[in-house]
A and B are shown apart, each in its own frame.
Chain A
Amino acid sequence: MKIVVPLKQVPDLVEDLEVDATGKALDAEEVKLKLNEFDDQALEEALLLKESGAADEVVAMAFDGEDVDKMLFTAIAKGANKAIKLNGSSPTDIHQLAKAFANAVATEGFDLVMAGVQSADGRDGHLGPIMAEYLSVPCISVVAGVSVSGGQATVQKEYSGGMLGEFEVDLPAVLGIQAAAQAPRYAPVSKVRQIQQTETIQEMDAGDLGAGAGSAISSMAAPEKGLGAKMLDDVEALMAVLKDKGVA
């Protein structure tokens, strides 16, 4: 069984985000990119399935861009069998990115696509279910728990309040992964460097990206601060609040 994990970088939300001169996008100069945390969860879950013997092969895939080689080598260092980089004109939104990945996985072949459930910059939807639609295969999102046997996957989908729905889905299928069974593993820098020397990243043409989201951003801005929090200068002030609320 073969699992493809599409990977994507997103702005690191720990950093300050600035809007550029157009007022419609983040200032790319200031943005620090990192692997989308949910993609990391998807990769981890895929690797766990491989290690359990349920899957034979895990393929990491990404669209070309800054530091993408390093991200893909890191995926191999963590245990992916191979990495594929897509080339072509850059996707402008999630729909186009999903089309690029759908084209590539159709060529590569797959039993399961495990995508991160969402990304913080996903204005026009969610990668996994859009890919599934392009591929005409079933999809379940917000998945935390996957097992595979006999041409089908059994998955647990999160609802609110800690409830789960359990489903069976025929393969091939796409899953939007919320969380892996364990925290995503770490690949030591030395190992990534070694992989960089010994492994190669396969390249593939992304093909036709389609029409895209069909909507445009008219403006982007940090939220206006409402009344907001009353800022406290020291612990003394904090103690006063706690006493006032009858907590301390």
Chain B
Amino acid sequence: MANILVVTEHLKGEFQDITFEMLGKAKEIAQSTGGSCSAMVFGSMSGQTDQMGAADTVITAEVGDDYNPEAYAAAVKSVVSANSPDLIMIGSTSMGIDIANPVSTALDIPTVSFCADIVAAGGGFTCTSQMYGGKMNVVSSVDGALISMVLAGSFNADTGRVSGSPAVEASAVEAGAGKVRFKQLIEPEAADVDITQSDILVAVGRGIGSKDDIEVAEELAEALEADIACSRPIVDAGWMSKSHQVGKSGMKVKPKVYIALGISGAPEHIEGMKATSTIIAINTDKNAPIFDVAHYGMTEDLFDVVEELLEELD
């Protein structure tokens, strides 16, 4: 019998998809083990508990609407201490990292990160984590209570998107120490191109090698009337602006065709583009995880391929 606590996530007054992914999975595990599922919601999101139909109970925490790492983690600690859930599901997200780790460490509850699957087994759970940039699946077994950090895109959000009127309990949360203060939300800068609207994207990753070589990809994009996109390392290297970044901390895109040049396909990148109907990946590493989500693949040198393509397209 697994009693599960799902820590919901919200931004600008809306529950994030990861919340519904976790709720759907939590409901499934709760039902299969004869347990129950609670959803913890923060601030005035308590006014939207009708979206939490997948949960048996909603636990509210009066911690303000704006996410605060310290206050939210303190609130989750209080609720976990009071309710002793068997499984605590937290997103493997920006917010989840701030919350899962201190709760785990303070309350001595094992955490498993990068979880793509969770199964109730005996009195505990087994979790499959996508580690090493998605190159290895690592199975962890935990006998007792567990915090599972769920990778976005692992479960079907629609399963958890159920309306209803679960019982609502207000939690008595301890205030944080007040050492972290929220100042403001900053919207992304207006971009020269909105890659979420593109039909065709040519995306470059670390395999492109140098800033100058991005020109090759730009030529291909021009020839295909595509827009140019990239993975995180390209932005961090300062080779392209953030408005072109696809993935967890960048944009979620769904073009008709996505051509990935020299992108290995870490889970953070795949989260942003896997809904694309045709993915073509060119990467010399035949074991690159990108080939698991791509529909077509080539292991040739990307420069050779692009050069030949440009000749063909000319």
Would you call A126 and B101 a contact (CB within 8 A)?
yes
Known interface pairs A13-B133, A140-B69. Does A167 touch B182 (Cβ–Cβ under 8 Å)? yes
Pick the contact of B131: A120, A134, A142 (CB < 8 A). A120
Would you call B94 and A159 a contact (CB within 8 A)?
yes
User: For the complex, is B134 an interface residue (Cβ under 8 Å from A)?
Assistant: yes
Minimal Cβ-Cβ distance residue in A for B12: A163
Pick the contact of B238: A182, A214, A221, A239 (CB < 8 A). A182
User: For the complex, is B250 an interface residue (Cβ under 8 Å from A)?
Assistant: yes
Minimal Cβ-Cβ distance residue in B for A10: B132
Known interface pairs A163-B185, A217-B139, A220-B139. Does A245 touch B257 (Cβ–Cβ under 8 Å)? yes
User: For the complex, is B57 an interface residue (Cβ under 8 Å from A)?
Assistant: no
Minimal Cβ-Cβ distance residue in A for B211: A183
Would you call A217 and B97 a contact (CB within 8 A)?
no
Known interface pairs A230-B295, A230-B296, A238-B298. Does A166 touch B186 (Cβ–Cβ under 8 Å)? yes
A79 to B49, CA, bound (A): 52
Which residues on A sit within 8 Å (CB–CB) of B105? 95, 98, 125, 129-130, 133-134
Would you call A229 and B136 a contact (CB within 8 A)?
no
Minimal Cβ-Cβ distance residue in B for A117: B97
Would you call B181 and A223 a contact (CB within 8 A)?
no
Pick the contact of A235: B16, B70, B309 (CB < 8 A). B309
User: For the complex, is B67 an interface residue (Cβ under 8 Å from A)?
Assistant: yes
Residue interface bits B32-76, CB-to-A below 8 A is 1, else 0: 000000000000000000000000000000000011111000000
A219 to B128, CA, bound (A): 9
Would you call B113 and A125 a contact (CB within 8 A)?
yes
A187 to B250, CA, bound (A): 30
Interface size on A, residues (CB 8 A): 83
Residue interface bits B179-190, CB-to-A below 8 A is 1, else 0: 111111111100
Q: What is the interface of chain B mostly: helix, strand, loop, or mixed?
A: mixed
Which residues on B sit within 8 Å (CB–CB) of A229? 279, 281, 291-292, 294-297
Within 8 A of A (CB), among B92-151: 93-95, 97-98, 100-102, 104-106, 108-114, 126, 129-142, 146, 149
Q: How many A-B residue pairs lie within 8 Å, measured between CB atoms?
A: 257
Known interface pairs A133-B106, A162-B251. Does A126 touch B97 (Cβ–Cβ under 8 Å)? yes
User: For the complex, is A164 an interface residue (Cβ under 8 Å from B)?
Assistant: yes
Pick the contact of A140: B98, B110, B140, B226 (CB < 8 A). B98
Would you call B69 and A167 a contact (CB within 8 A)?
yes
A159 to B14, CA, bound (A): 14
User: For the complex, is A248 an interface residue (Cβ under 8 Å from B)?
Assistant: yes
Would you call A165 and B182 a contact (CB within 8 A)?
yes
A164 to B125, CA, bound (A): 34
Closest chain-A Cβ to B114's Cβ sits at a distance in Å of 7
User: For the complex, is B197 an interface residue (Cβ under 8 Å from A)?
Assistant: no
Within 8 A of B (CB), among A116-145: 117-118, 120-126, 128-130, 132-134, 137-142
Residue interface bits B236-264, CB-to-A below 8 A is 1, else 0: 11100011010011111000110000001
A19 to B182, CA, bound (A): 44
Closest chain-A Cβ to B194's Cβ sits at a distance in Å of 11
Would you call A220 and B179 a contact (CB within 8 A)?
no
Closest chain-A Cβ to B35's Cβ sits at a distance in Å of 20
Binds B, one of A69-77, A170-178, A197-205: A170-178
Closest chain-A Cβ to B123's Cβ sits at a distance in Å of 14
Which residues on B sit within 8 Å (CB–CB) of A160? 11, 16, 93-94, 248-249, 252
Which residues on B sit within 8 Å (CB–CB) of A128? 101
A72 to B182, CA, bound (A): 35
User: For the complex, is A215 an interface residue (Cβ under 8 Å from B)?
Assistant: yes
Binds B, one of A53-61, A82-90, A105-113, A150-158: A150-158
Q: Closest 5 interchain pairs by CB?
A: A162-B188, A229-B297, A129-B101, A214-B110, A215-B110
Can you report 5 A-B residue pairs in the complex whose CB atoms are below 8 A from each other?
A121-B132, A132-B102, A158-B94, A161-B250, A225-B292
B interface list, Cβ under 8 A from A = 11, 16, 66-70, 93-95, 97-98, 100-102, 104-106, 108-114, 126, 129-142, 146, 149, 177, 179-188, 200, 224, 226, 233, 235-238, 242-243, 245, 248-252, 256-257, 264, 266, 278-281, 285, 287, 289, 291-292, 294-299, 305, 308-309, 312-313
